[in-house]
Amino acid sequence: MESDYPFPLVACYPVEEETQYRVSLVNQGSDRFRMILKIRDFLKVSLKEAKDSIDQLPLFLRDGLYVDEVDDVVSIFGRDTLKIEDYRDTLSIKP
């Protein structure tokens, strides 16, 4: 069977756009010093800047993160919690 089209027909399906998220730190958790060190390492700032930023919560961490990148942030800042569901007390994740 010959086609009148010069190229083969292919099925096209709409691709869902991945949602990007904004992550903010809303609570310092139970160990203030450990959280200051995490902020310093994550944002690549000095110890003084990390200490000053934790005094002015909520602290914006990253914008435009995809789901797998959000999981990385949760694993860094939610590590002190007993259950992974408890990260919501420390982080705010919004689309």
Whole-angstrom Cα distance, residue 31 to residue 65? Answer: 26
Strand (E) or helix (H) holding 22: strand 21-25
pLDDT tens digits, one per residue of 2-29: 556 555 555 555 556 678 888 888 888 7
pTM to 2 decimal places:
0.67
Q: Which domain holds residue 78?
A: 21-94
Going by pLDDT thresholds of 50, 70 and 90, the confidence category of residue 82 is very low
Q: How many domains does the chain have?
A: 1
Residue 21: what pLDDT? 87
Q: 50 or 30: whose pLDDT is higher? A: 50
Whole-angstrom Cα distance, residue 13 to residue 69? Answer: 26
Mean pLDDT over 47-63 rounds to 90
Q: 69 or 5: whose pLDDT is higher? A: 69
DSSP strands (E only) in 37-87: 59-65
> Which CATH number goes with the domain that contains 32?
3.30.1390.10
Whole-angstrom Cα distance, residue 7 to residue 36? Answer: 59
Residue 56 within a domain: yes
Residue 79 within a domain: yes
